[in-house]
Structure 1
Amino acid sequence: MVADTLVYHPTVTKLVTFLDSTPKREKSFRLLAYLSRFLAYYLQRKGYPIEWVNMWSGLKGHFTFIRKGMRFFKPINHLQTAAKTYDNKLLDPVLQSTTVIRNLGYAGYLTLDSVTWFKMLGIIDKTKFPTISKWASRFWLLGLIAGIVNSLHIIRSLTTKTTVDEKVDQAAIDKKLYSAKRKLIWDLLDSFIALNSLDILHFTEGDVGLAGIITSIMGLKDLWVATP
């Protein structure tokens, strides 16, 4: 039967497994939030009815609110990663320090973001901590800058190794280089978002939304590939 074919199809089974995970659902809502942000701006620029613009703006707020709740315990993961990396004395010093800083930055960002979520819930007075979102973006940017330095160091090390050592596994090196360059682009796009949220850059909501869509798809692709 057609229904059985759909129910037991490997892709459907993988999708069920994929969505049965909070981190993967959170990343899906991230994509929806940035897509809504982009569409609200696009429809406004094209002169569509204000009701349509308001609908997508409202959806962006709802998706963002849901995401914040899903990320409530994520700082613990980043703190644990930072601690384990700090204890690993065999790591390259640059990779070690940038990984620690990146994860501490993300932990600070997500912790402050949880305070924003409490304000949205009404648990904390909305008038308190008026600059909390700016500080959250600063911590996020700190983590992203550390990630950029990390990727640049990996790219430099791999390029040097390829030039000096003729016996290297070129296919393995190319794979690692691709991964590092991809992560560099990812962090640069997210840094673009963070810099706009801090009013250091002043691009449009559409530009920020598009950058968020791209990095969300990149993250979802990695999670999809890792799903059994």
Structure 2
Amino acid sequence: MSSVASQVILHPTVGQSLKVLGTTLGRDKIYRATQYFARFFAWLLISRGYKLEATRWNALKSHLALARKLLRLGKPLENLQAALRAAQATGDLKEQVTTIGRQLGYLGYLSYDAIVWANTVRFITLKPATAQKVTKTANRFWLAGILFSLAHAVFKAGRLTKEATQLRQLGEKDLGGENARDARLRAIEVLRSGTRRQFLIDIFDLWIPAAGLGLVDLNDGVLGIFGFITSVIALQTQWAAVNSK
């Protein structure tokens, strides 16, 4: 029995999972996936008349959302640093501008989200109308950040496609060898894959702040599924990044 337990506990997958859980981003994505699944499942139960059973899932959703706000308290500074680095970088102007816009959008979103957290835990006290305005402002910044991110993905994908086409058209003498060209093409494909993944995440996440602002009419079931899908995709990316080291 102890041998079986040891094989389970010491299994490589368990070790890889612990690596992911050892990162703030990894924990956040696991919490987020659970939070949005709880949002979907609570809606499903309520829609079928199981209001009492839905209470625990709504509570889980709320507590995980609050925990995630706490985890992200220092994140706006990272976004500010990323925006400053993008402003100082050289490269495609459209990508540079959209990167700055995306980071400033997330900076505003997470800053106002921190105020929402402080009000929720009673560290500060806001009037209900003020709290609602703060939440809406956070959603506006979130939506703006996602829109900039989508624009950035479009511009970057176009540039990478153009670069890949040009490389395929170059002869070996022009690039210094077929191996160098193939290596660069593989690197471009990795970048394109990451860009497509982020674009997919943004397409699904877009509807969450849009619904919060009343721009679209989507129920918690749809939004819960959207959030769960993007959380799983982001978690897979973090899993690969952590366990490739």
TM-score range, shorter chain: over 0.9
Paired amino acid for 2:35: A
Q: In the alignment, which residue of structure 2 is the partner of 1:84?
A: 85
Distance 1:163 1:18, change over 3 A: closer
- Counterpart of 2:70 in structure 1 is 69
Deviations 1:51-85 (A, max 9, x none): 11112111111111111111111111111111111
Determine the C-alpha separation between the residues in 1 that align with 2:18 and 2:152: 34
**CA distance in structure 2 between the partners assigned to 1:82 and 1:97 by the alignment:** 9
Structure 1 CA distance for aligned equivalents of residues 187 and 66 of structure 2? 41
Q: Name the % identity.
A: 31
**3-state SS in 2 of match to 1:227:** helix
Contact 1:120 1:126 in 2 (8 A): no
Q: 2:5 aligns with which of 3, 6, 10?
A: 3
Q: TM-score, normalised by structure 1?
A: 0.93
CA distance, structure 1, for counterparts of residue 72 and residue 190 of structure 2: 31
Alignment pair present for 1:225 and 2:240: yes
Pair 1:210 & 2:244 matched: no
CA contact (8 A) 1:74 1:110 kept: yes
Q: Is 1:104 aligned to residue 119 of structure 2?
A: no
Provide TM-score, normalisation by structure 2: 0.87
The alpha carbon displacement at 1:171 in A equals 4.0
Tell me how large the CA RMSD over aligned residues is: 1.6
Q: Which residue of 2 aligns with 1:141?
A: 143
Q: Distance in 1 between matches of 2:19 and 2:11?
A: 13
User: Within 5 Å, which residues of 2 pair with 1:41-52?
Assistant: 41-47=43-49, 49-52=50-53
Structure 2 partner of 1:93: 93
CA distance in structure 2 between the partners assigned to 1:184 and 1:35 by the alignment: 21
Whichever of the two has the greater Rg, that structure is: 2
Shift of 1:41: 0.8
Deviations 1:84-142 (A, max 9, x none): 11111x22111111111111110110010000000011111141623001000111111
2:39 aligned residue: 37
Unaligned runs of 5+ in 1: none
Q: Which structure 2 segments of 5+ residues have no match?
A: 171-180
- Within 2, Cα distance between the matches of 1:26 and 1:177? 25
